[in-house]
């Protein structure tokens, strides 16, 4: 374990908050990244965040490689809102031009930066499919799909914005751990307002609770319902942290040119003291 301080940035994508570390020059040394995430993402005892994002040298012709670690230490394929924050960070620091390609374990992500408004292009890597399941004593008709490697279940839920937090927590956890999803899944509860407007709340695996916004969840929710003819591009997705925009094209039942847009803000920059992970 290294004993020196680590440069970092704290960023927020509509309340989805992230710790960013530029490790292109090996600043983390031999520190275990999963261990680091499990410590640094802990609120009150450390910095606190929804995920730890680590920037590395590109591997396949992109401008950088983005690694995503959940608070439980698990490395996942990518995060939509995090990719927007990483894009803004990379553009500001001169790591990449405003139009860039971010490599991830889920595949390449094209990003464009215009001030604090960031847009990324993602893809459907599995699904969509329909599922009937029981969870917490209720029957659900769910849709499931994977967005650039991130798995999502989508459930229509009336008056979702007014639903008690405890209900989202209970049902989200029950569906997240359902046997239908051996690797687990993120869970999106959504309500259609009209053909271009959606309200969404997301229970994220790894965080094991609701987050204020979820980018891949917004895309998954929109496409799951657009596939049924219930939504049309573009769609404004209202989350607890703000508004995300999702646009797409659909040709012969397949989705193309899938874009996620919204703000990404710098919160702080500084150094992480070794005591931040020594507990």
* Catalytic positions, written as ranges: 79, 214
Q: Kind and range of the H or E element at 173?
A: helix 165-176
DSSP-derived 3-state class of residue 216: helix
Q: Kind and range of the H or E element at 35?
A: helix 33-40
Cis peptide before 128 (omega within 30 of 0): yes
Biggest alpha carbon–alpha carbon distance for the chain: 56
DSSP conformation class of 241:
T
Q: Kind and range of the H or E element at 37?
A: helix 33-40
Q: What six digits make up the tokens of 149? A: 């490697």
23 Ramachandran zone, left/alpha/beta (phi>0; psi -120 to 50): alpha
């Amino acid at each position: 374990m290294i004993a020196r301080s680590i440069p970092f940035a704290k960023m927020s994508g509509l309340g989805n908050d992230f710790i960013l570390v530029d490790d292109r020059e090996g600043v983390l040394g031999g520190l275990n990244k999963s261990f680091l995430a499990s410590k640094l993402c802990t609120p009150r005892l450390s910095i606190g965040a929804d995920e730890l994002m680590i920037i590395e040298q590109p591997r396949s012709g992109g401008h950088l490689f983005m690694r995503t670690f959940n608070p439980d230490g698990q490395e996942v394929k990518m995060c939509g809102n995090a990719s927007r924050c990483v894009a803004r960070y990379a553009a500001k620091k001169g790591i990449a031009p405003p139009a860039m390609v971010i490599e991830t374990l889920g595949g390449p992500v094209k990003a464009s930066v215009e001030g604090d408004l960031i847009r990324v292009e993602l893809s459907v890597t599995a699904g969509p499919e329909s599922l009937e399941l029981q969870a917490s004593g209720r029957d659900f008709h769910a849709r499931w799909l994977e967005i650039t490697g991130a798995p999502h279940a989508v459930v229509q839920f009336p008056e979702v914005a007014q639903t008690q937090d405890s209900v989202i927590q209970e049902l989200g956890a029950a569906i997240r751990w359902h046997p239908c999803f051996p690797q687990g899944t993120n869970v999106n509860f959504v309500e259609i307002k009209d053909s271009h407007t959606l309200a969404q709340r997301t229970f994220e695996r790894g965080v094991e609770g609701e987050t204020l916004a979820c980018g891949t969840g917004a895309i998954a929710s929109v496409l799951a319902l657009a596939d049924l003819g219930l939504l049309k591009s573009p769609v404004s997705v209202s989350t607890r942290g703000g508004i995300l925009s999702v646009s797409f094209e659909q040709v012969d039942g397949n989705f193309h040119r899938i874009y996620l847009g919204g703000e990404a803000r710098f919160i702080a920059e500084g150094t992480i003291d070794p005591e931040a992970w020594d507990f």
